[in-house]
Amino acid sequence: MKRFAFIGLGMVVGFIAALGLLPSARGANDVSAYRQLDLFSDAFERVRANYVRPVDDSELINAAIEGMVSNLDPHSSYMDAKAFADMQIQTRGSFGGIGIEVTMENGLVKIISPIDNTPASKAGLKAGDYIAAINGTAVQGLDLNAAIEKMRGPEGSKITLTILRTTDKALAKKPFDVTLTRAVVAVDQVRWHREGDIGYIRMPGFNENTASGLEDAVRDLKRQPGPPIRGYVLDLRNNPGGLLDQAVQVSDDFLAAGEVVSTRGRHADDTQRYDAHGGDITDGKPLVVLINGGTASASEIVAGALQDHRRATILGMTSFGKGSVQTIIPLGEGGGALRLTTARYYTPSGHSIQAQGIIPDVSVAAGDEDDIPRIARPSEADLRGHLVNGDTTARRPAPNIIRPPTSGTKPADFQLAFALDVLHGKVAGIPAKSAKVN
Amino acid sequence: MTTGGAMRGLFLGVLGVVAGAGLAVAATHFAYGANHAGFGAERELARFGLAFAQVRDHYLSQPEDRKLVEGAINGMLTNLDAHSSYFDPDTFAAMETKAAGAYGGIGVVISVRDGATKVVSVVKAMPAARAGVRAGDELVAIDGIAMRGHALGDVSARMRGTAGTPVKVTIARASAKPFDLELTRDVIEVERLTWHREGDVGYIKIVAFSDRTEPDLRAAVASLRRQIGPALKGYVLDLRDNGGGVLQASIDVADDFLDAGEIVSVRGRSLRDIERYNAHPGDITDGKPLVVLINGGTASASEIVAGALQDHHRAKMLGSLSFGKGSVQSIVPLDNGAGGALHMTTARYYTPSGRSIQVTGVVPDIYVSGGPDAPQYQREAELPHHLDAEGPPVQAFGTPLEPAAGHSYLDFQLSMAVAFLHKTMAARSATPHHA
């Protein structure tokens, strides 16, 4: 009984101490906050004392924090320590490892695909291979995360995998060992190639290396042998977003001057404007940006900025429509982090694309849109509890959708082929936008 | 210096000292807690406080403190197991004021499969049917709370409430975008016990266990005895698709068929926390043969009745393996109900022989198929975070009795139960009686 009271006191103080850390957590409405925290503390204590079996305290609190934030909107969530570490790898854009995409199958780790130019691909690991043991320890019984954890490690360290290759009859029943040296594996790297006189740049996400990846791409495309570059295609299809500052830098790379985006939080003084400076790395060459329903968030900032400045022709299908910004708020050592919606962003013309998306200048379908049911490819407006767009300005309707031909030969990537035609001036009435020469 | 002035000084001084000491002590505890595993709870609670403060301060719009904490408590509870959840103050108040038995609902029969709640059928002319809810629809949310991962009992509890009160359900149909329907609860009278004679056998069906169930059972037995007379061969107690209900009601029902002995024991977390429920003399059927029908939808309070009657060899269990929910939930009001209530798993129960049916279920004595149209039941073992089984895993218990080719039955399990009772009575009368 004594102990209970003692812990009880500590809890309340813990709350107060936490609230006291925040300058604005003072004032009359804090009475309500304390009452609610008391209620939570009471619920927590009752679960700890009376649940049918003892429960880990931090598990309870993790679930509580997740329950608190996931109710706010579809993009606010809680990351436990593990998820937070994974997210940091994602943002950093690289980790020490061997370079494979994996899944769990039959209790073994199965390689979906080795990533090009990584220790795994160099050692000849193949899609479909099973990893039966890591450094001699069987994988059976490990969960996927634990197995991934074991395969990651500092650059230069060695790892031995026991591989079962059932796709090869001769090896099907004979597991063999492969020793690899871990290296820095990049995730979501910018990739590029030439399509004749057009530079094609694929951007799968926005991490710390994205803008520099774009700059490398443009430099390399100019240098590659072939005719002079006439224009560029920036492919943002299925790019779910990432770091805001990278989106700003990517937009900046194509703009000579002007606002890129502004973000506005709860309070008026939270407004931040981001401007372009330092010139256009493509020398104002014509640009087509490819978007689709999977183009979201940071990608929409880029598409929105380049569209409002009439710097690029936006081609494809209406984008996802996520017009909000999340901030990562760590909750102390080992305490995970909040991913909390803290602001909305506005394109240079002052519009929010929240729940509306970027409407392309030229609507071109890929042709496979109807193959996937809508429930499996929702837009922001389909998400439960999504933020409502307060912007009531009339939106211009999306232009009529151009669809791939249903008979005869059709290009493997109709949207890209159409973009190339636009850049080559082959599509009547649709000039490719380029930077205005002043 | 005046006396008044000294007094005032002293008064302030005391206050100052108390406040200062309080803070100092607290600060020590807080720092201590951060370094000692024994004070994990305190540290964890502080972490929650920090998260709460951050959300309050930095979220895009000013959140309601109440909503934040309700979300937190609900998240904490639903993560424990699929039977635990939080009733917010409004929901709890509605539950408290509902008159016994006369509560309202929307008139749907639901099943939970792979975490998704599907509408099995809609009750004609009831709110759901009137609003256009159809069989096959997925119930995505109730009053804005996502139902994915919730247990059947919890989903039902949330649909219930006082007749006349509004409830918002979110429906997903095929590939369409989920949509909301605002319904008004109506009085649903489906939970009364029903009975009829099957020739010389008395048939009694209990759909759920409520305060009215045991008195209804007595009335049913009395009525069947009058109707059938001395030819009465025995009874069939149908507990199929009975998801449970009030614990005491299930104890009273089992007691009606037993003369003595334990019915069930309920054990909480500590070893001292054990409650035994025993039968009182008197079997309202005078010991007539009894068959209990069970299937994958027979859960919780139903499994208490089935387990007790099976362990005492009072009845034969006929049908298929039951659901396997061996836990008991308590309603724990917070702040005398002003803060809502926790609906939390607080105990396991054990049948008279001391076994837990958690996950394993009640194994039928006579395994009879529910027929080709019988639904695939979700079982306790498939629920996220379910409590572990305590007994050994259920041994394979053979292949079910199926209807012979070319024969069709309205209710094969019931037909087999009646046939079994006839056989039992024939065997009994063939036994020589010594005078």
Rounded distance, CA B292 to CA B298, Å? 11
Q: Based on the fold, state whether residues B350 and B388 are members of the same structural domain.
A: yes
Evaluate if residue A12 carries a pLDDT over 60. no
C-alpha B411/C-alpha A341 separation (Å) is 56
In this structure, are residues A361 and A310 in contact, taking their beta carbons and an 8 Å threshold? Answer: no
Give ∠ CA A329-A204-A285 in degrees, rounded to 5: 115
Residues B279-286 have a mean pLDDT of 96
**Whole-number Cα distances in Å, A322 to A302, B113, B152:** 13, 32, 34
Residue B426 lies inside a defined structural domain of this protein: yes
Strand partners, B177: none
Interface predicted TM-score (ipTM): 0.82
Please state the rounded mean pLDDT for residues B269-297.
94
CB-neighbour burial class of residue A287 (10 A; exposed 0-12, middle 13-18, buried 19+) = buried
B207 or A14: whose pLDDT is higher?
B207
| pLDDT on residue B1 | 31
CB contact (8 A) between residue B42 and residue A14: yes
Q: Determine which one of A80, A280, A308, A361 is catalytic.
A: A308
> Using one digit for the tens of pLDDT, what is the confidence trace for A331-341?
988 899 999 99
Q: How many residues does chain A have?
A: 438
Whole-angstrom distance, CA of residue B40 vs CA of residue B319: 49
Q: Are residues B325 and B370 in the same domain?
A: yes
Mean pLDDT for the stretch of residues B292-302: 94
The pLDDT value recorded for residue A394 is 63
Q: Are residues B174 and B211 in the same domain?
A: no
Q: What is the pTM of this model?
A: 0.78
What tokens does A342 get? 């803290």
Same domain (yes/no): B155, B296 = no
Query: How many domains, in total, are found in chain B?
Result: 2
Residue B317 in domain: yes
B140 and B268 housed in the same domain: no
Domains of chain A: 1-52 (no CATH), 94-186 (2.30.42.10), 191-423 (3.90.226.10)
With CB atoms and an 8 Å threshold, state whether B39 touches A33. no
Residues forming beta bridges with residue B181, ordered by sequence position = B169
- The verdict on residue B71 lying in a domain is no
- Which chain A residues have a beta carbon less than 8 Å from that of B273? none
Residue A124 zone, left/alpha/beta (φ > 0; ψ -120 to 50; rest): left
Helix, strand, coil percent values for chain B (each to nearest 5): 35, 25, 40
Distance from CA of B111 to the nearest CA of A (A): 21
Q: Which of B23, B45, B150, B275 to mutate to test the interface with A (most CBs of A within 10 A)?
A: B45
Residues of B with CB below 8 A from A44's CB?
41, 45, 48, 76
Question: Of A316 and B392, which is predicted with more confidence?
Answer: A316
B325: annotated active-site residue: yes
Kindly report the CATH number assigned to the domain that includes residue B163: 2.30.42.10
- Separation between Cα atoms, residue A72 and residue A76, nearest integer Å: 6
In tens, the pLDDT along A95-145 reads 899 999 888 887 889 998 888 889 999 999 999 999 999 999 888 888 888
Min mean pLDDT across A60-74, A94-108, B281-295 is at: A94-108
**pLDDT exceeds 70 at position A314:** yes
Nearest CA in chain A to B326: A52
Residue range B381-407, pLDDT digits in tens: 888 788 989 877 777 678 899 988 888
How far CA A171 is from CA of A129, A174, A375, B409, in Å, comes to 11, 5, 42, 55
Shared-domain flag, residues B145 and B279: no
Instruction: Decide which of B102 and A245 is more confident.
Output: A245
**Judgement on whether residues B258 and B182 belong to the same structural domain of the protein:** no
Nearest CA in chain A to B28: A10
Residues A153-181 have a mean pLDDT of: 88
- 3-class DSSP assignment, residue A149: helix
Q: Which residues contact A414 (CB under 8 A, 6 or more apart)?
A: A364, A365, A366, A367, A404
The CA-to-CA distance between both ends of chain A, in Å, stands at 80
- Give domain status of residue B221, yes or no: yes
Q: Show which of B147, B168, B187 is a domain's final residue.
A: B187
Q: Classify burial at B287, counting beta carbons within 10 Å of its beta carbon; exposed 0-12, middle 13-18, buried 19 or more.
A: exposed
The pLDDT score that the predictor gives to residue A338 is 95
- Tally of CB atoms within 10 A around A94: 18
Look up the domain containing B163 and give its range. 85-99+102-187
Residue with tokens 């927590």: A44
Q: Which of B85, B302, B325, B356 is catalytic?
A: B325
Q: Is residue B217 part of a domain?
A: yes
- Vertex A9, ends A3 and A10: CA angle to 5°? 90
The answer on B280 and B178 residing in a single domain is no
pLDDT averaged over every residue in chain B: 82
Residue A177 pLDDT greater than 50, yes or no? yes
Please say if B210 is a catalytic residue. Answer: no
> What's the mean pLDDT in A197-217?
96
Residue A427 DSSP symbol? S
- The answer to whether residues A111 and A131 touch, using CB atoms and an 8 Å cutoff, is yes
Are the C-beta atoms of residues A125 and A167 closer than 8 Å to each other?
no
CA A364 to chain centre: 24
Q: Tell me, yes or no, whether B280 and B396 share the same domain.
A: yes
- Chain A closest CA to B422's CA: distance in Å? 44
If asked whether residues B145 and B122 sit together in one domain, one would say yes
Which CATH number goes with the domain that contains B423? 3.90.226.10
Interface of B with A in 44-73 (CB under 8 A): 44-63, 65-69, 71-73
B56, part of any domain = no
CA neighbor of B250 nearest in space, from B317, B322, B316, B301: B301
Q: What is the C-alpha to C-alpha distance for residues A361 and A317, in angstroms, rounded to an integer?
A: 9
Distance CA(A188)–CA(A204), nearest Å, equals: 5
| Residue where one domain finishes, among candidates B168, B187, B206 | B187
Query: Is residue B28 within 8 angstroms of chain A, CB to CB?
Result: no
Neighbours of B179 (CB within 10 A): 11
- Tokens 């005492």 belong to B312
Tokens of B176: 């369409």
Residues B268 and B399 in one domain: yes
Give the tens place of pLDDT for each residue, A274-287. Answer: 999 989 999 999 99
Whether the CB of B331 is below 8 Å from some CB of chain A: the reply is no
A39/B339 touch (CB, cutoff 8 Å), yes or no: yes
B283 and B211 in a common domain: yes
Q: Give me the percent of chain B exceeding a pLDDT of 90.
A: 49
Does the residue B371 lie in any domain?
yes
User: Could you tell me which chain B residue has the CA closest to the CA of A370?
Assistant: B175
Instruction: Work out the average pLDDT over B278-289.
Output: 96
3-state SS, one letter per residue, for B178-203: CEEEEEECEECCCCCCEEEEECCEEE
Q: How far apart are the first and last CA of chain B?
A: 111
pLDDT computed for residue B18 by the predictor? 25
* Domain-embedded: residue B3: no
- Among B157, B172, B187, where does a domain finish? B187
A94 is catalytic: no
